[in-house]
Structure 1
Amino acid sequence: MKFDRIPWVIAGPCSAESERQVISTAREIAESPHVKVFRAGVWKPRTRPDTFEGIGKVGLEWLKAVKAETSLLTTTEVANAQHVELCLDNNVDILWIGARTTVNPFLVQEIANALKGIDVPVLVKNPINAELGLWLGAIERLYHAGIRKLAAIHRGFSTYVQMAYRNHPNWQIPIELKRLLPNLPLICDPSHIGGHRDFIEPISQTALDLGIQGLMIETHIEPDRALSDSKQQITPKVLIELLDRLRARHTAITDKQVKRKIAHLRAEISHTDSQIIQDLADRMRWVEEIGKLKQQHGISVLQINRWESLLKDHMARARQLGLEAEFIKEVFELIHAQAVKRQL
């Protein structure tokens, strides 16, 4: 899959609810040159029963009508082999595998088997939990089935921690996926990360700033009346205005002067990184010496009062230097865990 415009956008309602809703939404979003694909969920994997779980296969006929009228490509979510068969029979252009399916290797393999020998693009959303291995595994299963038109969708990760967003972005995970699979197109789903329409634009801009070139944005002609995820959907008008405000960044550095300045600064960073590694090595040597003394004199490895005092001092020093205290806390928690391990 290649992106001919940045951002390259998939848009449409969370769920296909009626033919009028689907066609009306598609007509309006087709006015944006950024929107290339129309999305609508036909089968909805809901957390609890007795809620709207999708219109079913009749929605696939509505997707056909969308393509006939607007020339937009179409996509919907599949969760099993039966869904795949119905989508292929109804000429759906792109399939996507949702977060609740990516987490299950059995279902992913079932879908991969159903797609063997079929040249159709497949988008793979990250699993609900923050585990890169499951995401990679789903992509690999599809690749081993002969599917080459693959892309990944970053939709955030569930967390029990209270936060403003519905799902934690954990940007380092899609960044690591991109490092491991540099040729794999990456799409961000700001609707599911944010969980509220007010967060869609800033999350989209962050994604573009990180070099993610595709977006999947839930769009509905009457979002407040949507049968699923109403708070995180926007109108086509708002979508078009939002896309016009977003600014994509270049991945290549073409200005020679800027390139030289960045090269100099990167050299300074590399020097600092080397010093950090050397300092950590020195620190661990002192840790091991302390560990020997503790062992000789029957002193417990973990000295909780010392650790709490040290962490408090480090966080205070971080604030003085303009660093985020929570960041320093996480860094030193890793260092401390390694120090304890060295003394055991």
Structure 2
Amino acid sequence: MNTSLETQTLGAAVAAKKPLIISGPCSAETEEQLIATCTQLAATGKVDMLRAGIWKPRTKPGLFEGIGTKGLPWLKKARELTGLPTTIEVATARHVEDALTFDVDALWIGARTTVNPFSVQEVADALRGVDVPVFIKNPINPDLELWTGAVERIAKAGVKQIGLIHRGFAAYGNTQYRNAPMWHLAIEMKRRMPDMHMICDPSHICGNRHMLAEVAQKSLDLDYDGLIIESHIDPDNAWSDAKQQVTPERLAELLDGLHWRRETTDKQEFLSALAKLREQINHIDDEVLQLLGQRMQIAERIGEYKRDNNITILQTARWNDILDHGVQKGAKLGLTEDFILKYLDAIHLESINRQNRVMSKKAE
């Protein structure tokens, strides 16, 4: 297995960059297509690392599943021509071995692999003794424990540089996105692992071109460390995921249109104003919690009356009235319907749990 010091150093140095921009075709299709795409990307001066799908896990048989190992020399050639490091997705021990044989600088574990601990462990075992950066995509289903577990398995294999890729989650009935971003889950992962690089994959979140900039900007506003966006010299005729890929020229325009924000500043005026506003939020949060505590006490008293009179916990008409009132009141206060419904749903669930505990007890 070829793991040259040059490859390891180059991959580690670039993978730690912020912001980190990774781009390349969803799939390596032909040598000409891959080289042309990569050289055009390099010419933009916007890309730090090249990507290409060599093995493609597909949902259904019969779809293009990647060119396979024969595409790795093409990627190596692109690296030599552009001077840019490369990264690919791996799902098996053989993928890892082949990738490192052809001097791939960094690897990533895809969503369909992250969801399977056996597969992650196989990749981890293949990485023992190898110093190469590894990015881990969120699992295809919204399960942070699987994502965390994958990180722990790779870390236990001795990999020192691990990054996260947020590519969205499969959600039944979802229509706006190919994979629902569920930003709150990614934010929680950042909270759990604050020192770990997290980059966003707008291509797989959107599944289309027209929303890429919007999703990319939101990730930057949330202090993500970079982007991985699919690019192809002829997106409409790509062999996989044609709708979500953009030309290198369009990618450069997209990146130029983004607002790259800082996490903080040393301007004292800003810091003082922010501290005061945050203190106000802290006081309001304390008041909200006090009110919620009082609300739950009343819910428990209601539970006692329902128990003593053999009345069900759930009162559908009452709950519909609360929702209607809440949405109307929230709109007047500038609060979105989506937020109000989620907020009231959380309160309602806690109220039901409280009443259920009361109903389970015998009256004194």
**TM-score when normalising by structure 2:** 0.92
Matches within 5 A, 1:1-344: 6-344=18-356
Change beyond 3 A, Cα 1:272–1:306? same
Whichever residue aligns with residue 246 of structure 1, its letter is L
User: Any idea what SS the aligned residue of 2:185 has?
Assistant: helix
Distance 1:240 1:307 in 2: 50
CA deviation string 1:24-82 (max 9, x = no partner)? 01111112333111100000001111111100101100011011110110111111111
Q: Provide the residue aligned with 2:3 in structure 1.
A: none
Moved more, 121-130 or 158-167: 158-167
The SS at the match of 1:30 is helix
- Aligned-partner Cα distance in 2 for 1:72–1:166: 30
Q: Which moved more, 1:100-109 or 1:171-180?
A: 171-180
Q: Cα deviations across residues 183-216 of structure 1 (Å, max 9, x unaligned)? A: 1000100001110011111111111111002100
One-letter amino acid matched to 1:271: H
| Greater Cα shift, 223-232 or 286-295 | 286-295
Deviation at 1:339?
Answer: 0.6
Contact 1:5/1:34 (<8 A) preserved:
no
What is the count of residue pairs matched by the alignment?
344
Give 1:160 shift: 1.3
Q: CA separation in 2, counterparts of 1:75 and 1:333?
A: 43
The amino acid of 1:27's aligned partner reads T
Q: CA deviation at 1:89?
A: 1.3
Separation (CA, whole Å) in 1 of partners of 2:214 and 2:348: 35
The separation in 2 between residues aligned to 1:205 and 1:304, in whole angstroms, is 41
Structure 1 residue 5 displacement after superposition: 5.8
Cα distance between partner residues in 2 of 1:217 and 1:301 = 49
Root mean square deviation of aligned Cα: 1.2
Spell out, residue by residue over 1:117-137, the C-alpha distance to the aligned partner (whole angstroms, 9 max, x if none): 110111100111111111111
Give ranges in structure 1 of 5+ residues lacking alignment: none
Tell me, in whole angstroms, the C-alpha distance in 2 between the residues paired with 1:163 and 1:328. 21
Distance 2:321 2:218 in 1: 36
Give me the identity figure in percent: 48
- Verify the 8 A CA contact 1:103 1:127 in the aligned structure 2: yes
Instruction: With the length of structure 1 as denominator, give the TM-score of the two structures.
Output: 0.97
1:6 CA drift (Å): 4.7
Q: Which amino acid aligns with 1:65?
A: K
Residues 8 and 34, structure 1, Cα contact 8 Å, conserved in 2:
no
Distance 1:164 1:303 in 2: 33
Cα offset for 1:254?
1.8
Letter aligned with residue 138 of structure 1: A
Deviation at 1:231, TM superposition (A): 0.5
- Distance in 1 between the 2:284 and 2:185 partners? 25
Query: Would you say the 8 A contact 1:6–1:248 is kept in 2?
Result: no
1:315 Cα offset (Å): 1.1
Contact 1:7 1:208 in 2 (8 A): no
CA distance in 2, matches of 1:161, 1:317: 28
